[in-house]
Amino acid sequence: MTAEEISQANESLREQSPLEVIEWAIGRAEGRAIVSTNFRPYEAVILHLATQVQPDIRVLWVDHGYNREATYRHAEELKAKLGLNIQAFVPKLTAAHYDAAHGGMPEPTEENEEAIKAFSTVMKLEPFQRGMRELAPTVWLTALRKVQNPNRAELDIVSPDNNFNSLKVSPVFHWSDEQMEAYLAEHDLPNEWDYFDPAKADEKRECGLHAAWGGKAVEAK
The pLDDT of residue 156 is 94
pLDDT at 149 exceeding the cut of 80: no
Q: Write out pLDDT tens, residues 34-77.
A: 999 999 999 999 999 999 999 999 999 999 999 999 999 999 99
pLDDT at 219 exceeding the cut of 90: no
The pLDDT of residue 6 is 95
The pLDDT of residue 217 is 47
Burial annotation 170-209 (CB, 10 A radius, 16+ → b, else e): bbbbebeeeebeebbeeeebebbeebebbbbbeeebbbbb
The pLDDT of residue 152 is 65
Report, as residue numbers or ranges, the catalytic residues.
Answer: 207
Q: Write out pLDDT tens, residues 166-197.
A: 999 999 999 999 999 999 999 999 999 998 88
CA torsion 66-70-76-82 (nearest 10°) is -110
Q: Write out pLDDT tens, residues 76-134.
A: 999 999 999 999 999 999 999 999 998 888 887 778 888 888 899 999 999 999 999 99
Domains delineated in the chain? 3-219 (3.40.50.620)
pTM of the model: 0.88
